[in-house]
Amino acid sequence: MNESNRGGGWRVSVDTGGTFTDVVVADEHGRFTIGKALTTSGRIFNGLSAALENAAETLGLTRADILGRTDILIYGTTRATNAIVTGTIAKTAFLTTAGFPDVLVLREGGKFNPHDFSTPFPAPYVPRRRTFEITERIDARGSIVLPLDETQARQTLQTLRARSYEAVAVALLWSIANAAHEQRLGALIEAELPGVPYTLSHALNPILREYRRASSAAIDASIKPLMQAHLRDLQSDLRESGYRGEILVSTTMGGCLDVDSVIERPIHTVRSGPAMAPVAGRHYAALEEARESVLVVDTGGTTFDVSLIRDGRIATTQDTWLGEQFTGHMLGIPAVDARSVGAGGGSIAWLDPAGLLRVGPRSAGARPGPACYCLGGTAPTVTDAALVLGYLDPDYFLGGRMQLDVAAARAAIETIATPLGITLEAAAYSIFAVSNETMINAIKDITVAEGIDPGEAVIVAGGGAAGLGILPIARELRCRAVIVPRTASVLSACGMQFSDIQLEQSASAPTRSVDFDRAAVNAALAYIDTHLDTFAARLADRGFRERRMTYRVDAHYAAQVWDISVDLTAPRIGSDSDVATLVESFHANHRRIFSVDDPASPVEFLNWTGRVAIALPQQRSGETLAGAAHTVPVGTRRALFDEHDAREATIYRGEQIRVGDVIAGPAIIEEATTTLVLPPGTRARLMPTGSYVVTLDD
């Protein structure tokens, strides 16, 4: 990075969730210090600043000291995702080719229950009344069939101005073959709607599949006013606080981008939080030499996210839905394959009209929060249940910085116990059991559906609430072992510490294996390289020079609908042998996913994608955890490990455990920012790497 911006070689990563803002401060030797504070929904810097001050207090420094020593700050946020989920996006106009106004309405089809007509047809991301048809037409070869009617286009834009639209998404038919009309519309938007942000689909996501390209453009445009203001405010607040280093933002691909690139394309922040947990999980699994399949789970205050690592590679997907599959909205860009369900520490327990207990997806968030936080919340949550069950120490939450109210938690759980006619403890345990079942189903969805036996995988557990219920989940799935890092509560923020700067660029070049058009494919790959080289050169000027390039293509058998990705072994397709290798790789991927292939059928290749990964400086000292001289328990506490199984659990503090010692359940290990509950029949060993490796008796 620029010498003028150099601090002391420190790196700070920030993850702002729905409940807590997590900060990880890494010094020049790679030693981590954790800071936590409640997320502030208004000016995000207030919560970030409080978390930095918490970390600074641990280090005996000030917030200004940390910022002055920091070269790189990586920021992750759920703000874009939350805005989409809650509908607090900008008033967005969708401009498309005349005659095709229903791209967002009709989507790609698909329905889980094809004969169920009771469910209403889902609404489009941009309401149909906000779709405007533009007179123009380009064909699949890029030829102009009907010129752009600039007079009509200007009239449309003047209508948008009169109706106070806040953003514009443009997705014209076959703009990926000829972008001239979209580019001209962009110029007209700047002239007629100065200051109004807009997104051109060919520039954001130049791929085949009209709905995906249109959906990504609409999502990107709709969050631009919010995210551009948010990120610029963050920049301003950091600079005013004395920070002079680089500002990067975590992305949905499991990497990060410079803040200016994200301001231009904020869609890359959508679902970026779950994308960072597997980056950290891969690192922690490698430290324990876990080479088999790894499940990374991140249990936060609002959601439970699960992702998969196979052969050291994080699973990615082209089919990321915001909401339920088919009825939600397609993100349209590649993303880490992380499945999320509404089950976290702040998830609210409730009774449905039939009197059945449900947990989530609604969450109490940071404010009013769980009832035991005493911040105005009264609804029963998983955290309240954990307190009633004896899993949490009310005087040692967040290392004693936050006091929990047991009476408030009991009163909240009573609203579930009384209608069900069961004891308070039984209600609390039932809340945990229902929440765990939701998490188990999410894990099965990402493993069994991919042909993986979860019992053969190792779990890396993260998130502030991870240690409360992960071991009953692992037992149910028959997993071999569970790795719980001492930094589990800030798993996503830790992932940013191990990430790269990453950018992807796509190009469309449809061709078939039986008549492969090498010239068109190589032209598409050259186009991709031009864009990625420009991006990499800009960062090289700022000191980030170490890079690597990878390529892949989306493909399917002729007449199939859904694509799978195939990696390229070289940046160009140079010979018939290269084509044969690519085709065989597709067959192998198809066999792995679907347990069948069809070598007699031709393969269709559609969208080609390149990714540049630019390495951040990694300063790791290789030091091992010192640990305590002796393992000393601090007492016992009654805890309920089954509905009718209350036992005295031995309580340990993390800093008072010697490396290599084994803690047998029933026990509870309390770290400053997380708690690990060990039911009977489980054993945790503190490793020199700073993680607990937990095994379960048969």
Return the SS3 of 289: coil
Q: Would you state the structure tokens that stand for residue 9, as one six-digit string? A: 């070689």
Asked if residue 464 lies in contact with residue 344, where contact means CB atoms within 8 angstroms, the answer is no
Half-sphere exposure of 455 (CA within 13 A, CB side): 5
HEC profile for 207-222?
CCCHHHHHHHHHHHHH
To the nearest 10°, the Cα dihedral for 348, 354, 357, 362? -20
CA nearest 336: which of 267, 274, 270? 274
Cα distances (Å, whole numbers) of residue 536 to 14, 530, 546, 612:
24, 10, 9, 8
Residue 623, token pair as written in the block: 């030091």
Q: Do 176 and 214 form a contact (C-beta atoms < 8 A)?
A: no
Q: Quick check: 365 and 302 in contact, CB under 8 A?
A: yes
* Residue 619 pLDDT: 53
For the chain, counts of helices (H) and of strands (E): 17, 35
8 A C-beta contact, residue 19 and residue 345: yes
**Residue 252 is inside which H or E element, if any?**
none
Cis peptide before 368 (omega within 30 of 0): yes
pLDDT at 625: 62
Three-state SS sequence of 631-646: CCCCEEEEEEEECCEE
Considering only CA atoms, which of 75, 176, 97, 58 is closest in space to residue 505? 176
Q: If you search the block for the tokens 């690519």, which residue do you land on? A: 582
pLDDT at 18: 67
User: Of the candidates 695, 638, 640, which has an alpha carbon nearest to the alpha carbon of residue 664?
Assistant: 695
Give the residue among 470, 512, 473 at the shortest CA–CA distance from 488: 470
Interstrand relation of 10-16 and 70-77 (parallel, antiparallel or unpaired):
parallel
Nearest CA to 210 out of 332, 321, 127, 322 is that of 332
Task: Report DSSP state, residue 291.
Answer: -
| 466 contact partners, CB below 8 Å, separation of at least 6 | 297, 298, 299, 484, 488, 489, 491, 674
Whole-angstrom Cα distance, residue 505 to residue 611? Answer: 7
pLDDT at 542: 81
Separation in Å, CA 233 to CA 45, 236, 259, 385: 8, 5, 12, 38
Burial of 73 (0-12, 13-18, 19+ CB in 10 A): buried
Beta bridge partners of 686: 692
End-to-end CA distance of the chain: give it in Å, rounded: 52
Question: In whole angstroms, what is the distance from residue 108 CA to residue 53 CA?
Answer: 48
pLDDT at 624: 54
Per-residue model confidence as pLDDT tens digits over 125-144 = 999 999 999 999 999 999 99
- 254's torsion region: left (phi>0), alpha (psi -120 to 50) or beta? left
Cis peptide before 120 (omega within 30 of 0): no
3-state secondary structure string across 92-160: EEEEEECCCCCHHHHCCCCCCCCCCCCCCCCCCCCCHHHEEEECCEECCCCCEEECCCHHHHHHHHHHH
Side chain identity at 177, as an amino acid letter? A
* 304-310 and 564-567 beta bridge pairing: unpaired
pLDDT at 85: 76
Residues 6+ apart with CB under 8 A from 652: 631, 632, 633, 634, 663, 667, 668, 669, 670
Q: Is the peptide bond before 353 cis (omega within 30 degrees of 0)?
A: no
Strands 675-678 and 667-670: antiparallel
The tokens for 645 are: 């199984």
Q: How far is 409 from 428, CA to CA, in rounded Å?
A: 10
Point out the residues of the chain with pLDDT beneath 70.
1-7, 18, 366, 449-450, 618-627
Return all residues near 138 (Cβ < 8 A) that are at least 6 apart: 144, 145, 172, 173, 174, 175, 177, 178, 180, 181
Among 679, 640, 684, 636, CA closest to 663: 684
Q: Give the separation between CA 366 and CA 38, rounded to whole angstroms.
A: 6
Q: Which of 614, 650, 645 is nearest to 632 (CA)?
A: 650
Contact 481, 360 (CB under 8 A): no
Residue 452 DSSP SS3: coil
Distance of CA 112 to the CA centre of its chain: 25
Using the 8-state DSSP alphabet, how is residue 616 labeled? P
The helix/strand/coil state of 605 is strand
DSSP assigned state of 40? P
pLDDT of residue 618: 66
